[in-house]
A and B are shown apart, each in its own frame.
Chain A
Amino acid sequence: MTELTLNDYLLVSGLLFAIGFAGVLLRRNIIIIFMCLELMLNAANLSLVAFSRFNVGADGLPNYNAQVLVFFIITVAAAEVAVGLAIIVALFRARQTTHIEDINSLKF
């Protein structure tokens, strides 16, 4: 079998993004939509790390700026999950549902 190229990683990353994207568009459960958001963030992380490994510097090592960016994305995603789930819990307390078609008005 041939060696792996950058395109293999980018293809897998793009497909994972598409799966997450389809989940956000097609599912009606707010928690599942939130999980699919995480999938999309992770797909972006995968292509960042692939480019980091591909773009070696003068010392022959990967570009670590990209990996620091991935570190930041993971941090922001963790904060986002905490806030988002708190919002979902507050919403559930007010409406007793996680189905987005029952929560289609901005005002309570």
Chain B
Amino acid sequence: MSPILFWFFALLMLASGAAVVINRNPVASALALVASFLGLAALFVSLDAFFIGVIQVLVYAGAVMVLFLFIIMLLDLKAEQRRKINIPAWIGGGLVTLVFVAQLAAVLKRFPLGQQKFPALPGGRIDDVEKIGETLFSTHNLSFQVIGALILVATIGVLILSKRELK
């Protein structure tokens, strides 16, 4: 992918990510999150991870975001009313974030491997779905089954949580 497209999608992703944080209305935040996920899916495709890109669109931009919007509409949330801002919390949160970004810049500056270009892939078709499936069902077979059990437990947990009133 050309650098121009990369920076376009990266900026789209970061700008909509910032919009999620800035927006007061939860519905607008959720829609900005969809845009952010779509930008991220494009970045996955730029890294030749087509399967992950498709999964990102299907699972995140599709299922997860519909769930979010569904819950926001169900709870009938209005735009957050302005409250007194907790100044120490804001200063603390902003400071921790700035320290994180500064640390990130410092680490990336001293990371010689990061200055290298991506190695070229062999020409022709890349069957990444086949390769991921092979790895998933051979090397990571046990983890795959554990994930299956996890999803079952999550489903049962959601059913129980939504049935009873909290006492």
Q: Is the CB of A32 within 8 A of B140?
A: no
Question: Which B residues are CB-close (under 8 A) to A62?
Answer: 47-49, 121, 128
Please report the C-alpha to C-alpha distance between residue A2 and residue B108 in the assembled complex, in whole angstroms: 18
Q: Which A residues from 8 to 44 make CB contacts under 8 A with B?
A: 8-12, 14-23, 25-29, 31-32, 34-36, 38-39, 42
Provided the pairs A31-B72, A31-B77 are in contact, do residues A86 and B48 lie with their beta carbons within 8 angstroms?
no
Q: Is the CB of A90 within 8 A of B161?
A: yes
> Which secondary structure characterizes the binding site on chain A?
helix
Chain A contact residues (Cβ within 8 angstroms of B): what range? 35 or more
Closest-by-CB residue of B relative to A54 is B118
B21's partner among A32, A72, A74, A89 (CB-CB below 8 A) is A32
Q: Is the CB of B56 within 8 A of A74?
A: yes
Query: In the assembled complex, how far is the CB of residue A101 from the closest CB belonging to chain B, in whole angstroms?
Result: 8
Query: In the assembled complex, how far is the CB of residue B54 from the closest CB belonging to chain A, in whole angstroms?
Result: 11
Q: Which A residues from 56 to 103 make CB contacts under 8 A with B?
A: 56, 59-62, 64-65, 67-68, 70-72, 74-83, 85-94, 98-99, 101
- 3 closest Cβ pairs, A-B complex: A25-B93, A7-B114, A79-B154
Interface residues of A (CB under 8 A from B): 1-12, 14-23, 25-29, 31-32, 34-36, 38-39, 42, 45-46, 49-50, 52-54, 56, 59-62, 64-65, 67-68, 70-72, 74-83, 85-94, 98-99, 101, 108
Q: List 21 A-B contacts (CB under 8 A).
A: A4-B1, A5-B115, A5-B118, A6-B118, A7-B108, A15-B104, A16-B17, A18-B104, A19-B14, A25-B94, A31-B29, A31-B68, A35-B30, A35-B33, A42-B37, A52-B47, A61-B126, A64-B132, A90-B161, A90-B166, A99-B83
